[in-house]
Structure 1
Amino acid sequence: MSAQDNFFLKDNVSDKIHFEFASNLIIIPLEINGVTLSFVLDTGVRKAILFNLSERDSLDLKNTKTFYLHGLGGDGRIEALKSTHNKFRIGEAVCNNKDLYVVFDKAINFTPRLGVLVHGIIGYDIFKDFVVEINYNSKYIRLHRPDAFKPKSSKKWKTLPIVIHQNKPYLDADIAITEEIKQVKLLIDTGSSDALWLFEDKNEGIIPNKDMFFNDYLGQGLSGSVYGIRSKVKNFTLSAFNLNNVNVAFPDSVSIDVAKIHKERNGSVGGDILKRFNWFFDYNNNQIHFKKNGLFKDPFTYNNSGIVLEHHGTMFVREQIKVPPRTSYSERDHSNAVKIDFAISHIMVLKPTYKIIELRTSSNAYASGLRVGDILIGINGKPAYDYKLSQINMIFHGKTGKTIRLKVERNGETMTYKFKLDNAFKKSEPSN
């Protein structure tokens, strides 16, 4: 790797950058050729990839040629353009000669499903040049110059070795799907919203718990949607830290052939576990330092509605506002019964709309009559646009038995459906 494509900090020994946290993903501001964009910080990617091209006219991309990227989902690869000699800036860290891979397929856009604007993903380009501190509690990363970094001395911090293989970090952990403890090698994947992914391997005894599983949509990969089985593992242990009843996904084999580049890899550890610790990633010394944080004891929950939503554009909504009192005027008739108040006015504002894009057919929501393609316009008596996507998802992750009322639009007709959140692990009733 040429030193010319390295990030550097001129005067500071470290630099702190605040991030947005959505669906267990870290979203950082990244400036490319003078334009500030939002990128997911993803330890699972080797290249900086831009896929939301709303700013393409001002990015001044040059020296482009066709390239193919490989990733989860679909046929495992997607066409892109490789652009060289781009200027990147993150905080005070600058690189004047960085490659960027540009995907033009509009289907590869994480913004609708996250509910937060995202232009791309970046990983190794940052981690190779700094000791990267990730503080999930306070939602910031700090870039430390490796020559000035000193590990924490507190006993609360633990250190583990990692292996950097093809620019991606791997660690060893222990799992117990039921009772037997197994050591697994996992990709550290800050770009995954899930807790744990495992690649099914009957010879190694890595298979879903036969008494607790369901088929589901797992997420969006670079090459399309990924499906598989969701389940639980009894225990997940990392150094001295043990987590119980952890969510796990087993992706379909057609989605992981390309991903399983490291022959010893058994899966990935993602954001729903990583967020429970604060981290220092030290690629240069092949180690990580970490301690548990305030999120450590949060329960691992599933979407008990079976509904997956995404942003579906915006709509104008008429909202009432108060104007300054000096514009008020009152007029009374002889009976004092009429009062005209001009202090209330209205404005038109843009609000988000949401669309059902995945729906588990074994769910109560499906049984109630909801279908993929329905546009959500109301939830529990309130307009859907009053909620962020993350807030609606929190409702869907509620306790079994909670009643949910959804108002949707389908083919121009408004319909209302009611259902109870059910156990995601319930078995579908056999069809007659």
Structure 2
Amino acid sequence: MHQSIKIIIALLITVNLFATEDIPLEAKPPIIFSKAEIVNASTTRIPFKIIDQLIIVEVEILDKEGNFIIDTGSEALILNSVHFQPTRKYRDDGKSKSGVHDDIENVKEKYLDELSIKTLSLENIDADVIDLSHIEKVKRIELLGIIGYSILKDFEVFIDMHLNQITLTKTDKYGDHLSDKVYAETIHDSIDFKLKQHTIIIDALVGDKDVIFGLDTAAEYNQLNKDIDSEILEYFYPSKELKLSGASGKKRKVLAGKLYRVSLNDSIYLGPMKTVLTDLKNMKSAFGTNLDGILGFEFFAQKRTIINYKKRKLYFIKSPIIKP
């Protein structure tokens, strides 16, 4: 299956980004983010909504307008074959891709000439075409597709759950901004990460034990490998069983609860996070590395996070203090 479609397949991003100007029909690029706000020549701010702890944006693509999921755990741009029928531009009929929990069959590809993010654009894009109808059924939403690493890697990505918006800033080959002024907020901390294939890998601690986590915006809950060290499991407090749907539509039972005492270093701490205990045995084939777990929505709900793929850095913005 495509890496972007994980067990907690609560993926849903309403890709409603840019394109407010009056563009002739024949000049419109394949993808338009129609609700985006231009900050400067290289920065765009995109509102999103949360559906079942998934980040959803609205997008206009190939004469259709609808919901996309923003998924840092996905390798590529994915189009839902329910809404985008194969044409002569599709290739690689019948190939399959492996993912965290199972396989997705009949993955096809579609070539797009250009993706437009208001004044920003990316050219020569490949999209995987996969049947996502089971996600639509579970989430009760029409889903056009998923936006993953192949699109996000050329930007610094600020995911702000406080304001429900994503800021995309174009960077040069070193990861530096192309514009001087990007954020009104002040960065107060940062950590390094590794990039394995398309997956963000961070070193963390549970209690005083070292762990390796993948970072994934489309994980509805955090995931913890059920075969992890028993001393780490002491900080996982189970409360119930859940049935979760994988990328292929298969359901499985997982133990759900909260994970305590997670920190990124000696100064960055996280509060208790909703977590599921599950089998991550396919993680290495999907992401190219062994992981102890995945940090998802629960992480981003606590940390206003900036991802700089080229610098391999996560930056954190302070959340405002909400007075009762």
Q: TM-score, normalised by structure 2?
A: 0.73
Letter in 1 for 2:218: G
Deviation at 1:258, TM superposition (A): 4.1
Task: Give aligned-pair identity as a percent.
Answer: 20
The separation in 2 between residues aligned to 1:272 and 1:13, in whole angstroms, is: 29
Letter in 1 for 2:214: L
User: For 1:92-241, what aligned pairs fall within 5 Å after superposition?
Assistant: 92-104=119-131, 106-107=133-134, 110-146=135-171, 147-148=177-178, 157-176=188-207, 181-194=208-221, 196-203=222-229, 205-207=231-233, 212-222=238-248, 224-239=250-265, 240-241=267-268
The separation in 1 between residues aligned to 2:137 and 2:249, in whole angstroms, is: 16
Deviation at 1:115, TM superposition (A): 3.7
Preserved CA contact (<8 Å) 1:136 1:278 = yes
2:59 alignment partner in structure 1: 30
Preserved CA contact (<8 Å) 2:73 2:216 = yes
Compared CA separation, residues 152 and 185, structure 1 to 2 (3 A): farther
Letter in 2 for 1:44: G
Deviation at 1:281, TM superposition (A): 0.8
Deviation at 1:61, TM superposition (A): 6.7
1:48 pairs, out of 67, 77, 80, with 77
1:249 alignment partner in structure 2: 276
Q: CA RMSD in A?
A: 3.3
Give secondary structure in 2 for the equivalent of 1:275: helix
Give secondary structure in 1 for the equivalent of 2:246: strand
Give secondary structure in 1 for the equivalent of 2:154: coil
Compared CA separation, residues 149 and 70, structure 1 to 2 (3 A): farther
Compared CA separation, residues 141 and 12, structure 1 to 2 (3 A): same
1:72 pairs, out of 100, 116, 134, with 100
1:19 alignment partner in structure 2: 48
Q: TM-score, normalised by structure 1?
A: 0.56
Compared CA separation, residues 208 and 20, structure 1 to 2 (3 A): same
The separation in 2 between residues aligned to 1:23 and 1:148, in whole angstroms, is: 35
The separation in 2 between residues aligned to 1:227 and 1:23, in whole angstroms, is: 18
The separation in 1 between residues aligned to 2:235 and 2:192, in whole angstroms, is: 30
Deviation at 1:285, TM superposition (A): 0.5
Give secondary structure in 2 for the equivalent of 1:272: helix
2:305 pairs, out of 248, 267, 279, with 279
User: For 1:285-364, what aligned pairs fall within 5 Å after superposition?
Assistant: 285-293=311-319
Give secondary structure in 2 for the equivalent of 1:111: helix
Preserved CA contact (<8 Å) 1:32 1:87 = no
Comparing both chains, which one has the higher relative contact order based on Cα–Cα distances under 8 Å and sequence gaps of 6 or more? 2
Is 75-84 or 221-230 further displaced after alignment? 221-230
Compared CA separation, residues 40 and 155, structure 1 to 2 (3 A): closer
